[in-house]
């Protein structure tokens, strides 16, 4: 098992990475402080792993909330199911919520924990690759609004993260690839050596080789933890974690939540962001080729959807949380492993980049 720490003073917490960790409750049970627990999961994951988790919670008063599955249910309306269950079971401020699921369950459970009785503890037990390497770490929680993704939320750090890699055995290939997009992101934004390593190991990673997978999850969490420790509430540096996300969120919103997976939209968005960095003269064109090649080997989309037009992109990108005074700020690369958040790209150049990627005028 590998372990690392997210260093946030009194809000610091460990991340455990390895196989069969759900069964090793001696690792994580100490992070349940009271006698009450509420497991939040969904209808796909419950039949696979809920009984296993529940069997490790003997002696505690346990409530289970099984949410419908899908990004389209990441809403305030669905979140109410968690509050209804907590209140119906008289769960108090000492309860610990456990998120057993991917990023949707993790973001919703974390937000419920941030809000319930003005804040209770929670534990992340991510079940997708994307949630292991990204969403379970760093305390961003929330739900979508019809007018924008993740627009309602809070920063609320978990007590610990349990990344049990054996749960990925049941993850469908398309979801696995979506997680690899976020893994590749770390190489691009802050870890050139990791990018080189990924190029050398991508075939093994796609074959879910145990050692390579554990190393990829460890290195991703390590990189993310450093960025989060520097800038927990995204005043500045943390925004680099959003490489490709301004484009990606526009794609997700335009296509309808859930039709393009988050990681797929991020992959196409990263290609657009790297291409724009090349257009600005900041990067050698070969890096665009290397990025495209790595993402292609991970079976990820390289191009934006063909039913979006440039104005639609710009309008949706203008709603991004990074926009200040109406100016689109993007995460772009000055070099491999060196991301910046910048409004230096003129709108005309952003438009040109979209047109060159095949987006309709």
Given 149, 249, 292, 329, which residue is catalytic? Answer: 249
- 256 CB contacts (<8 Å, ≥6 apart)? 72
Of 74, 156, 238, 262, the residue at the interface with ligand GLY (CB under 6 A) is 238
- 66 CB contacts (<8 Å, ≥6 apart)? 41, 42, 43, 46, 50
State residue 63 phi and psi, 5-degree precision: -110, 145
**Smallest distance from ligand GLY to CB 245, Å:** 7
For the four alpha carbons of 207, 210, 216 and 220, in that order, the dihedral sign comes to: positive
Which residue's entry shows tokens 């390579």?
212
Q: Which does 242 bind (CB under 5 to 8 A by kind): ligand NAD, ligand GLY, none?
A: ligand GLY
Of 71, 215, 232, 320, the residue at the interface with ligand NAD (CB under 6 A) is 71
Given 74, 219, 222, 262, which residue is catalytic? Answer: 262
Q: Is 19 a catalytic residue?
A: no
Given 156, 238, 290, 292, which residue is catalytic? Answer: 238
Rule CB under 6 A: say whether 135 interacts with ligand NAD.
Answer: yes
Contact assessment for residue 220 and residue 183, using Cβ atoms and an 8 Å cutoff: yes
Q: Is 234 a catalytic residue?
A: yes
> 121-126 and 36-42 as β-strands: parallel, antiparallel, unpaired?
unpaired
Nearest to 97 by CA among 87, 86, 84: 86
Rule CB under 6 A: say whether 138 interacts with ligand GLY.
Answer: yes
Distance, CA of 177 to CA of 79 (rounded, Å): 28
Contact assessment for residue 231 and residue 238, using Cβ atoms and an 8 Å cutoff: yes
The one segment of 60-68, 168-176, 225-233, 296-304 that binds ligand NAD by CB under 6 A: 168-176
Q: Is 249 a catalytic residue?
A: yes
For the four alpha carbons of 298, 303, 307 and 308, in that order, the dihedral sign comes to: positive
Rule CB under 6 A: say whether 150 interacts with ligand NAD.
Answer: yes
Q: What is the DSSP letter of 29?
A: G
Of 134, 191, 232, 320, the residue at the interface with ligand GLY (CB under 6 A) is 134
Rule CB under 6 A: say whether 44 interacts with ligand NAD.
Answer: yes
Q: Is 182 a catalytic residue?
A: yes
Rule CB under 6 A: say whether 130 interacts with ligand NAD.
Answer: yes
- 295 CB contacts (<8 Å, ≥6 apart)? 181, 184, 267, 270, 271, 302
DSSP codes, 297-322:
HTT---S--TT-BHHHHHHHHTTSTT
Q: Which does 264 bind (CB under 5 to 8 A by kind): ligand NAD, ligand GLY, none?
A: none
Contact assessment for residue 355 and residue 361, using Cβ atoms and an 8 Å cutoff: yes
Rule CB under 6 A: say whether 67 interacts with ligand NAD.
Answer: no
Looking at the Cβ atoms of 139 and 337, the one nearer to ligand GLY is 139
Q: Is 242 a catalytic residue?
A: yes
Rule CB under 6 A: say whether 242 interacts with ligand GLY.
Answer: yes
| CB count in 10 Å sphere of residue 285 | 11
Distance, CA of 221 to CA of 135 (rounded, Å): 10
Q: Which does 238 bind (CB under 5 to 8 A by kind): ligand NAD, ligand GLY, none?
A: ligand GLY
- # of chain residues touching ligand NAD (CB under 6 A): 30
Give the residue numbers marked as catalytic: 118, 140, 182, 224, 234, 238, 242, 245, 249, 262
Instruction: Name the site residues for ligand GLY (rule: CB under 6 A).
Output: 134, 138, 140, 234, 238, 241-242
Instruction: Name the site residues for ligand NAD (rule: CB under 6 A).
Output: 42, 44-45, 48, 69, 71, 74, 101-105, 107, 127-128, 130-131, 134-135, 138, 140, 150, 167-168, 170-171, 175, 178, 262-263
């Amino acid at each position: 098992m590998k372990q690392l720490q997210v260093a946030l003073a009194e809000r610091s917490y460990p991340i455990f990475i390895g196989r069969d960790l759900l069964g090793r409750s001696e690792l994580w049970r100490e992070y349940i402080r009271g006698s009450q627990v509420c497991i939040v999961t969904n209808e796909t994951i419950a039949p696979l792993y809920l009984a296993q988790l529940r069997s490790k919670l003997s002696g505690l008063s346990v409530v289970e909330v099984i949410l419908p599955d899908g990004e389209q249910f990441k809403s305030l309306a669905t979140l109410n199911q968690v509050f209804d269950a907590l209140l119906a079971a008289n769960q108090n401020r000492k309860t610990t919520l456990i998120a057993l699921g991917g990023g949707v369950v993790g973001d919703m459970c974390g937000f419920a924990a941030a809000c319930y009785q003005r804040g209770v503890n929670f534990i992340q037990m991510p079940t997708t690759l994307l949630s292991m390497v990204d969403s379970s770490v760093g305390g961003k929680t929330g739900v979508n609004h019809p007018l924008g993704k993740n627009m309602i939320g809070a920063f609320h750090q978990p007590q610990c993260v349990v990344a049990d890699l054996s749960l990925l055995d049941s993850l469908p290939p398309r979801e696995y690839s979506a997680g690899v997009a976020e893994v590749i992101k770390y190489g691009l934004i802050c870890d050139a050596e990791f990018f080189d390593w990924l190029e050398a190991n991508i075939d093994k990673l796609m074959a879910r080789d145990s050692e390579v997978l554990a190393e990829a999850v460890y290195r991703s969490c390590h990189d993310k933890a450093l960025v989060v420790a520097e800038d927990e509430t995204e005043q500045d540096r943390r925004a680099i974690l959003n490489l490709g996300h301004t484009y990606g969120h526009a794609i997700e919103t335009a296509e309808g939540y859930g039709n393009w997976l988050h990681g797929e939209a991020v992959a196409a968005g990263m290609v657009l962001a790297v291409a724009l960095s090349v257009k600005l003269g900041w990067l050698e064109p070969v890096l665009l080729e290397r990025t495209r090649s790595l993402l292609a080997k991970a079976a990820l989309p390289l191009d934006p959807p063909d039913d979006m037009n440039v104005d639609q992109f710009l309008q949706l990108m203008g709603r991004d949380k990074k926009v200040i005074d109406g100016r689109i700020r993007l995460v772009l690369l000055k070099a491999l492993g060196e991301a910046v958040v910048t409004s230096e790209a003129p709108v005309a150049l952003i438009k040109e980049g979209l047109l060159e990627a095949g987006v309709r005028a």
